[in-house]
């Protein structure tokens, strides 16, 4: 009866350890998946901000990038990787339980016959984390998982910013190519007029050659513009996860239809920095380093383990599996390493060093983020002023060209004078197109610096 009671206690303890493994709330993590669904992706990039550009083509490209961009898929997979690394670390907090079967065939000395033996062992082992060492290290891995999510968010903001910047540069090049085509036509006419004047002895051959060189250069400039547009279309294809072979089907708004319902902010609150992924990551890294230091200090404390083992042995399968034919063990131990060659001290110093590095990185991140935000806002304001001045210059040039047209109609000036004046107007228009595009791109720069915050 006493043996039965002892046997029952051991079985109960083993079942308890098994319950701790499978019923422990910590095990819930295994079913969690870092699914970055469409709603999460949209919240990452603040899609309402992009609607302020009033461009359905741009919005469509951004949605495609969120769905098909390969860098974004990789960033999401890295979150999954971080979660599994955390799971590996968390497993050390849980008991381990195992069962097995050991069939054996043996022959004893002096016997002529062999006999069989069936052994069914079951064991359980659990480290009591009395000082929270393993818990601290798991918490440190939790911080790394959170950092990976911030990196994922940063990747989403970066990719959609690249989509917007690339898109507007393509729209700008569309306009520049249109203007350049008119410049080529005018320079061809100028060259033809110079040839006629040279044949009549009115101008020198050198002037004619200069006009020819200007015409050739205009065509070379056109080739550069088209090359740059092709490269940007290829880039846009990669950003939205499409094949560059389909780039000719990419639709975009006409440059002259560009509008934006966004005001230039007077200032950006400094607390926007607290929303930036890199700042949040540096803060999490500092917390992780602190947990690693605390866990390293606890390495100097003893560790405690509980071990349970029971094995049923019988010469007949599933028969005589009782207390008489069993081996059972329930034990515990406390271990305190006395000498490890200085590894624990070195590890503690190493973790303290990493902690100090994390502090400096945290401080640096704040001031660098502040600089980036101020730089982005400064570029937006000054480039907008530059655009307004260029636009004013263009309006003056346009008005002057109107007077030149009147003089041409009245026969006061030649067609050559009119063409040269129009080229000056078109050159200024190219500057207007570039400066206006810079305003749109700088808006995206502020958006990126503020980590898609609502300003």
Print pLDDT tens along the chain (455 aa): 444 444 454 455 445 445 444 444 444 434 344 446 778 888 899 999 999 999 999 999 999 999 999 999 999 999 999 999 898 888 888 888 888 877 777 667 777 777 666 777 888 888 888 888 889 999 999 999 999 999 999 999 999 999 999 999 999 999 999 999 999 999 999 999 889 888 888 888 888 899 899 999 999 999 999 999 999 999 999 999 999 999 999 999 999 999 887 888 888 888 899 999 999 999 999 999 999 999 999 999 998 888 888 877 666 555 555 666 677 888 888 888 888 888 999 999 999 999 999 999 999 999 999 999 999 999 999 999 999 999 999 999 999 989 988 988 888 888 888 888 999 999 999 999 999 999 999 999 999 999 988 76
Q: What is the dihedral of CA 151, 242, 167, 45, to 10 degrees?
A: -30
Distances (CA, A) of 53 to 261, 363, 440: 6, 35, 9
pTM: 0.84
According to CATH, the superfamily of the domain at 33-93+131-303+343-449 is: Outer membrane efflux proteins (OEP) (1.20.1600.10)
Asked if 125 and 30 touch (Cβ cutoff 8 Å), the reply is no
Query: Of 375, 150, 374, 161, which is closest to residue 279 (Cα–Cα)?
Result: 150
The b-or-e profile of 382-403 (16+ CB within 10 A means b, else e) is ebbeebeebeeebeebeeebee
Query: Of 367, 383, 373, 381, which is closest to residue 452 (Cα–Cα)?
Result: 373
């Amino acid at each position: 009866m006493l043996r039965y009671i002892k046997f029952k206690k051991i079985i109960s303890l083993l079942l308890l350890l098994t319950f701790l493994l499978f019923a422990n709330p910590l095990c819930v993590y295994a079913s969690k998946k870092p699914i970055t669904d469409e709603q999460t992706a949209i919240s990452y990039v603040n899609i309402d901000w992009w609607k302020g550009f009033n461009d359905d083509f741009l919005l469509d490209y951004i949605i495609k990038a969120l769905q098909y961009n390969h860098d974004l898929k990789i960033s999401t997979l890295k979150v999954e990787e971080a979660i599994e690394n955390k799971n590996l670390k968390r497993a050390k907090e849980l008991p381990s339980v195992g069962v097995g079967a050991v069939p054996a065939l043996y022959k004893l000395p002096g016997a002529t016959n062999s006999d069989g033996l069936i052994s069914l062992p079951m064991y359980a082992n659990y480290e009591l984390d009395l000082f929270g060492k393993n818990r601290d290290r798991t918490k440190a891995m939790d911080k790394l998982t959170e950092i990976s999510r911030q990196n994922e968010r940063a990747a989403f903001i970066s990719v959609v910013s690249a989509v917007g910047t690339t898109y507007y540069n393509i729209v700008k090049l569309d306009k520049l190519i249109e203007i350049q085509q008119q410049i080529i036509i005018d320079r061809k006419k100028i060259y033809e007029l110079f040839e006629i004047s040279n044949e009549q002895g009115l101008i020198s051959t050198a002037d004619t050659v200069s006009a020819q060189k200007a015409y050739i250069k205009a065509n070379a400039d056109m080739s550069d513009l088209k090359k740059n547009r092709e490269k940007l279309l290829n880039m846009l294809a990669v950003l939205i996860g499409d094949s560059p072979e389909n780039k000719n089907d990419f639709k975009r708004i006409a440059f002259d239809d560009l509008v934006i319902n966004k005001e230039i902010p007077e200032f950006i609150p400094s607390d926007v920095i607290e929303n930036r992924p890199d700042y949040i990551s540096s803060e999490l890294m500092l917390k992780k380093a602190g947990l690693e230091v605390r866990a390293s200090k606890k390495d100097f404390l003893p560790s405690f383990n509980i071990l349970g083992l029971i094995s049923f042995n019988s010469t007949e399968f599933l028969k005589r599996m009782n207390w008489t034919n069993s081996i059972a063990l329930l034990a515990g131990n406390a271990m305190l390493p006395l000498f490890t060659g200085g590894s624990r001290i070195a590890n503690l110093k190493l973790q303290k060093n990493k902690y100090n590095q994390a502090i400096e990185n945290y401080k640096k991140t704040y001031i660098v983020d502040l600089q980036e935000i101020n730089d982005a806002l400064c570029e937006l304001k000054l480039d907008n002023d530059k655009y307004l001045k260029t636009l004013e210059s263009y309006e003056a040039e346009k008005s002057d060209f109107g007077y030149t047209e009147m003089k041409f109609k009245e026969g006061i000036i030649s067609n050559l004078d009119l063409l040269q004046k129009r080229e000056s107007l078109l050159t200024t228009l190219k500057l207007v197109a570039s400066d206006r595009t810079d305003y749109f791109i700088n808006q995206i720069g502020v958006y990126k610096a503020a980590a898609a915050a609502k300003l």
